[in-house]
Structure 1
Amino acid sequence: MVFGKNTPTISQQNEREAEREDDDDVIEVVDEDQNQTQQVKKKPSPTDEKDPKKPLLTEVRYVGSGGSNAGGSKPWACNHCKGTFTSSYTRIHYHFFGAPVGTKAGIRRCETLLRDREKHEKLWRKVQDAENIGVSKALKNSVLSKNASSKKRIEESFAIMERHAVDMKIVRGLCANGIPFNVLRNPQFVEMVNAIKRAPDGYKPPSYEKARTVLLDECVRDVEKDLTPVKDTWYTQGVSIVSDGWSNVKHQPLINVLAVNSRGAMFMFAEDFSGVEKTGVEISKLLLGAIETIGPSNVLQVVTDNAANCKAAGREIEKVYKHVFWSPCCVHTLNLIFKDLAKEFYWLNHTYKRGKKIVKYFLNHTHALSIFRENSQLELLKVAKTRFASHYILLRRIMDCREALATTIVLNSWREWVKKGDENTKMIASQVVETIRDDNFWDDVGSVLEITKPIFLLIKFCDGEGSKMGEIYERMDNMMGEIKDVMKDNEYASYYPQVEKIVLARWEKMTIPLHCVGFALNPRFYDKNYLSKMAPGGIPRKAPNQDVEVVSGVMKTFDRISEDEEEGRVLRDQFATFHMKKGIYSMVATQADAVTMDPIDWWATYGSETPELAEVAKKVLSQLISSSSAERNWKPTTWFLFTRTFDSNLDFQIPIKPVRTKSGTSIPKACTYIEGSSSRLQEMAWENLDEEDMEDGNGKRQRLD
């Protein structure tokens, strides 16, 4: 038995009832002579159209002639949307207000009323008033009386319209103020919108003066409270002072100062050096002030670029605080290797210039570039000289575009375009074509990329976020071995001794005792499986304690960070316990976790037997090795809170301090905060350089010298 087989649904019942109304609008007429009630069909009359019980008839006009049935379907036109329909009075309701839930409307909605809420509400009240004074059978079954939920649907439809209007206001506000659409993803923006929704009636935004003074100061205090967990790690993990110079659009020479460790980077302040010579003494005063602010006992190193005045500033700092090391930026140092190689080897520099000429020609001629783009999914990259590893980046992209370049120069469209050019354009075009067709050029590009790739990969590693102090020493060793392996079968193998000399010369300038300590206190490098494998270059691996240079650096560090001889002796004894795997370090679990666990976590877990050494290890391993975090574009235009503009694990918003002049006073008004910074593009996203989505840019960076 099928239950409800012949039972109509509620929607079907509603439709049938509406159809019955449409077919017969019946009224009762009393005959005084016969005193009998007869049912007659009322003829349409002009008064019918103005019946207060059918107020919607005034919103339409009948066109043509209908049937003999007074109720029935008649052709009519809407006075609002001008649409023409044939239906009953019920469908007129549906046209203006929509059908009840579960009922097919059978007619489209009036678009004019959907867009005009004021008209819609006025008509809605008109129908409600008519029903209140005396509802006829037709109105009893109208949309208003039949289903109150239709009112909710109308309100929802207008809510959609209102939301769209608000959305447009927001987008126009963003466009008018040049605010990127990424702000819509910012949780702070969402919080702001929610706060405005909850605000009392009549709320007005704060004034310009109040926002930039009282409210900004309060906001800075709130953000500083949020950064308290980061500051708390300074006592346990130490901190590095990072600094680098740059210029804003007003050409003001500024120096950023940040406090960084493995938990995050905190912007401290920016110093304006306008009219002041950037000597080592002046820079050291700036950095010493930052050290005093943080607390000298929490600072392990000061990281700057490799300029001579920065090195002099480092010496001044070490005179005041012997436990604070000056550390040159590893990324800058490694980048100088590219420049040294280009100066030393003509073939490398010549190859780079030929490749650069190809890129420059296409980028300077839009029609040639258009022809190239039709045959390539990749863009040619014009990398600024100040960009790290610019030689490798440019040549790598040219190699990836080799096939597209070769296809471009054989096309008829290319030849016809070249013929139309002037003599200089034709001459350079012929040189470009000759270079692209030269197999020796492409062989040289391949050789340069093979030799320099290990350097590039190490730059990419150093320029990334996170604490790298425990790995940089070992990776430098590996880089040298990888270059040796590549040049064995390379046509330029005879140049390896010169390459090695250049790399080692830069390495000596870059390496500091802290690098040795980080290497020696990284438990992973004492693993038997690790030591059993050959290092790149065919060199046997050895534990850090067996490397004379490493042990020497460790002892120098222990001597500088110890307050007295006894403390230094304790550190040396505990270091012996650690690398000889005595006590807790001899346990199987301890040695197994040394390979899989983060070194900082490993020392926090197993360092209880050597507490003084564990404290040193956690602090050293938490430090960074480059000043790249200070060189990023810190979005200083109209934002009063800095956020990192590059992919990183440092998710904290940073409070801006006023830009200070050397006299100690704040720069007045608009210059009080670091506004109008140059729109330098983000430094090359190293994680994408091995893919096919590299981007062009014209970043600028200014050294402190």
Structure 2
Amino acid sequence: MASNVDNGENNTRVETDRGCASKKIAKNTAGNRSDKTWKHGISVDGDAKKIKCKYCDKIVTGGVYRLKHHLAGTKKDVEPCMGVSDEVKKDMFDIVVGLQKNLVKKTREFEEKIQSKDEGVEEEGDALVGKKRKGKEIQTPASLFKKRGVSTQTTINSIFKKGLREEACDGIASFIYNNAIPFNVARSEEYHNMFEKVARHGLGFKPPSYDELRGKLLKKKVESTKLTLEEHKAEWKKTGCTIMTDGWTDKRRRTILNFLVNSPKGTVFLKSINASDICKTAEKIFKMIDEVVEEVGEENVVQVVTNNAANYKKAGQMLMEKRKNLYWTPCAAHCIDLMLEDFEKKLDLHKDTIAKGRKLTTYIYSRTSLISLLQQHTKGRDLVRPGMTQFATSYLTLGSLNEKKNPIIRMFISDEWKESKCSKTRDGKNIENIVLDKIFWGNIIHCLRGAYPLLHVLRIVDSEGKATMGYMYSEIDRAKEKIKDAFQSVELSYKPLWDIIDARWDKQLFRPLHAAGYYLNPQIHYSPNFKVEDVAKNALKTKTPSQWWDSYGDEHQELQKFAIRVLSLTCSSSGCERNWSAFEMTSTMNNVVFVMTNSRLARKKPPRNTADYSLEDLDSDEE
């Protein structure tokens, strides 16, 4: 039985089980809403190709087919939904697996038809062998969504190209070696894209000249980068932004200040300034920051974050007196680093233990023979663990020593150590005494019980992935409670640490924005059983605090706007000082710095492999 629908488009013909042809409108035809996936999304402005997901509010471009993959979490040309239930996700996954299997089947049938035409002169036995090879392929649901490549065959052409590739690689290697270019450049996307585009051009490609690189090509890149920044400026008007500044000293002992702007859309680089003659006085710092606020737009700026030096603090106060609607906030990462510094300076046990740990690592790493012996016992693992800040490194190194306690002890009681010249020297004997001292290892655990909770907070505020203003207040309180529990509520042990934390918190970090962020954060302020719609309650786990207010705060629009602006803020300016060593060679080339830095900041960074700084394992080997 056939039905005709005149919609101005070619109708899809399908064969029924009875062998008859019928006309049927495909479920993904524009204007059709019979596909059951539509109950999980809403078309945007009536456009069937743009659908808003009901669970995460993401607008999916590509119609209901793309929405299925979004809900199924296949990562096929669309990001997976983070708010969909497991039941809907499984349902959608089963659907897209079925669709993909049909597509693969039809593709194979088509390829076999083409192959049979092209290889009609082949012997029957060879054809059977080809079919057997295909039959060995194992399909899994996950593998169905991987891009299918074309099978390769050894030909005269490929052998010829192998020789050409070796010549090309030799030339590329010479360019990299002779110009002292780091090998890591081969891991960048731009490196591979560059060669793909050159290969697409073919023979006769003429590389850009010196004048083109520093002239029209650089100008073109600067313009395209500025266009990208316009998207960020639109976000600043909605959510507000943070101006971050911090400095570094180059090889010529000049003080260079970097200015960046952070918002939920990401961080962008504005400029670098040679502040050698500026950063000494608060008045000059104030004038410099005030000019940057004017450039970004005062109505867009919620806060300015700098380090905690006295001249910056005074400049921040002057800025708030002039501009009543923005705040100066000290860098939280710097404040926590100062807490760790106070632990080391003011607590004798911490001071003595860190000094011995530093003496041990310095002694080993200053002697090649001991480095080799150490790596034999630790299986190549290092003792020194670089941290996010200067004083975090000290405690992370103590943690690394604690993890490798047994291999280090075995090293210093081994025959190789006893037979070495180092073991006969006075310094060598002192180091051996430190390693074999049980009190030293017990003191390391004592230090880590106080430092690890703060390192956990430092990792959160130093994160580039999410705004942290809504968490700072509660995380400091949680760190103090963890310290108290780690010392089994013995006041004599935890109270000195609390006093140091409170002194820094009350003097530097106790700010109106931190308090407002704590109060407005729905993940903290509301108890698990507070009365609200199920959708809004479930969203507490899938949305950031600012996204939650954007979705469910419409009834209180003024509060909604205020909450979004506060909860979208960062707490740290540490991003301003990360990886700036590349600027040592290009600090005067402002356009190059502008393009390079914003390109790096725009890249999606893989999640950093960080420890969880758990206190649970510290008691396991305390002897």
Check whether TM > 0.5: yes
CA distance 1:686–1:157, change in 2 (3 Å): closer
Aligned to 2:551: 605
What SS does structure 2 have at the residue aligned with 1:300?
strand
d(CA) in 1 for partners of 2:326, 2:196: 47
TM-fit CA distance, 1:201: 6.3
Which of 294, 297, 300 is the matching residue for 1:295? 297
Contact 2:409 2:435 in 1 (8 A): yes
* Counterpart for residue 457 of structure 1: 456
Give 1:231 shift: 2.3
Residue pairs, 1:249-648, within 5 angstroms: 249-377=251-379, 378-381=381-384, 387-418=390-421, 426-465=425-464, 466-488=466-488, 493-508=491-506, 509-529=508-528, 586-634=532-580, 635-636=582-583, 637=585, 640=593, 641-643=595-597
Amino acid at match of 2:172: I
Matches within 5 A, 1:653-672: none
Give RMSD over aligned pairs. 3.1
Q: Secondary structure at the match of 1:528?
A: coil
After superposition, the Cα gap between the structure-2 partners of 1:595 and 1:413, relative to the gap in structure 1 and judged at 3 Å, is: closer
Distance in 2, matches of 1:201 and 1:168, equals: 18
1:633–1:645 CA contact under 8 A, matched in 2: no
Instruction: Sort the Cα spacing of 1:447 and 1:419 in 2 relative to 1 into closer, same or farther, 3 A.
Output: closer
CA-to-aligned-CA distance 1:279-307 (integer Å, 9 cap, x gap): 11111222111111111100000011111
CA contact 1:227–1:652 (8 Å) conserved in 2: no
Aligned-partner residue type, residue 481 of structure 1: E
Aligned residues with identical type, % of pairs: 28
TM-score, normalization by structure 1: 0.60
Superposed displacement of residue 190, structure 1? 3.3
Distance 1:358 1:170 in 2: 44
Higher Cα Rg: structure 1 or 2?
A: 1
Residue aligned with 2:377, SS: coil
Task: Give 1:157 shift.
Answer: 1.8
SS for the counterpart of 1:270 is strand
The whole-number CA distance in structure 2 between the counterparts of 1:354 and 1:598 is: 43
Please show how residues 117-128 of structure 1 align to structure 2 within 5 Å: none
What's the CA shift string for 1:231-255, capped at 9, x where partnerless? 2211111110000010123322100
- Local SS of the residue matching 2:273: strand
CA distance in structure 1 between the partners assigned to 2:374 and 2:212 by the alignment: 54
Residues 170 and 588 of structure 1: is their aligned pair in 2 closer, same or farther, counting only changes over 3 Å?
same
Q: How does 1:22-421 map to 2 (within 5 A)?
A: 153-199=155-201, 202-377=204-379, 378-381=381-384, 387-418=390-421
The superposition leaves residues 434-474 of structure 1 with CA deviations (integer Å, 9 ceiling, x where unpaired) of 11111111111111111221111111111111210111111
TM-aligned CA deviation for residue 337 of structure 1:
1.0
- SS of the residue aligned with 1:327? strand
In 2, Cα distance between equivalents of 1:174 and 1:628: 32
Query: Is the 2:539–2:548 contact (alpha carbons within 8 Å) kept by the matching residues of 1?
Result: yes
Bigger CA drift: 447-456 or 384-393? 384-393
Tell me the alpha carbon deviations over residues 571-597 of structure 1, each in whole angstroms, 9 at most, x when there is no partner: xxxxxxxxxx8xxx8444334433543
Q: Secondary structure at the match of 1:375?
A: helix
For residues 259-318 of structure 1, the C-alpha deviation after alignment (integer angstroms, 9 at most, x for no partner) is: 111211111000102344521111122211111111110000001111111101101211
> What is the SS of the residue equivalent to 1:608?
coil
Measured after TM superposition, the shift of residue 167 of structure 1 is 2.4
Kept in 2: contact 1:460–1:686 (CA 8 A): no
Post-superposition shift, 1:189? Answer: 3.1
Distance 1:412 1:184, change over 3 A: closer
Partner Cα distance (1:385, 1:615) in 2: 33
1:690 Cα offset (Å): 5.2
**Cα shift at 1:514:** 0.7
Gaps of 5+ in 1: 1-99, 103-151, 531-580, 654-683, 692-705
3-state SS of paired residue (2:398): helix
8 Å CA contact 1:244–1:304 kept in 2: the answer is: yes
Letter in 1 for 2:463: G
Candidates 604, 610, 614, aligned match of 1:687: 610
Whether the 8 Å CA contact 2:417–2:423 is kept in 1: the answer is no
Deviations 1:61-85 (A, max 9, x none): xxxxxxxxxxxxxxxxxxxxxxxxx
For 1:200-252, what per-residue CA distance to the aligned partner results, in whole angstroms no more than 9, with x for missing partners?
86443333233213321221111221333222211111110000010123322
User: Contact (CA 8 Å) 2:385, 2:396: kept in 1 or not?
Assistant: no
AA aligned to 1:632 is: R
Q: TM-score, normalised by structure 2?
A: 0.67
Q: 2:603 aligns with which of 646, 651, 660?
A: 651
What is the number of residues matched between the two proteins?
455
Is the Cα–Cα contact under 8 Å of residues 487 and 494 in structure 2 kept in the other structure? yes
Asked if the contact 2:456/2:613 (under 8 Å) is kept, the reply is no
Higher relative contact order (CA 8 A, sep 6+): 1
